[in-house]
Amino acid sequence: MIPLDIITSIHTLLASLLALITMDAINGLFELSAGLFVLNHCRVLKAHKAVRGISLVSVGFFMLWGCWNLIYYPALNQPLSFYGGLFVVTANVLYLGMALHFRKLEVTNKA
């Protein structure tokens, strides 16, 4: 049987740890994860060297939204979200640049 004072100590520790998890930390983690997923798109694009089934307008929109977040997050005093957002925007710029490059190569090779 577990003594009650240990359960109370564990509860206090978990409550303290949960208090450290802020909305900014959660959002920042989502932003960071999104950047990793976009980098995965870059990896696949590099392997295929062709753009298929992707609207560059949509990619551009989400990149612009990310740029807005770089203005918005500091206004909300959310530094972790800002740095995660910076990572997403950088990954989207890389992806958009790669996509435009491979589209240009495709058009050049068809001509």
Q: Is residue 2 scored above 70 in pLDDT?
A: no
Tens of pLDDT along 5-26?
777 788 888 888 888 889 999 9
**What class has domain 23-110?**
mainly alpha
Q: Would you kindly state where each structural domain of the chain is located, as residue ranges?
A: 23-110
Residue 70 burial (10 A CB sphere; 0-12, 13-18, 19+)? middle
Tens of pLDDT along 21-70?
899 999 999 999 999 999 999 999 999 999 888 889 999 999 999 999 99
Q: Is residue 90 scored above 80 in pLDDT?
A: yes
Half-sphere exposure of 96 toward its Cβ, with a 13 Å CA cutoff?
16
- What's at 82, amino acid-wise? F
Q: What is the pTM of this model?
A: 0.80
How many residues comprise the chain? 111
Full DSSP string of 58-90: HHHHHHHHHHHHHHHHHHTT-HHHHHHHHHHHH
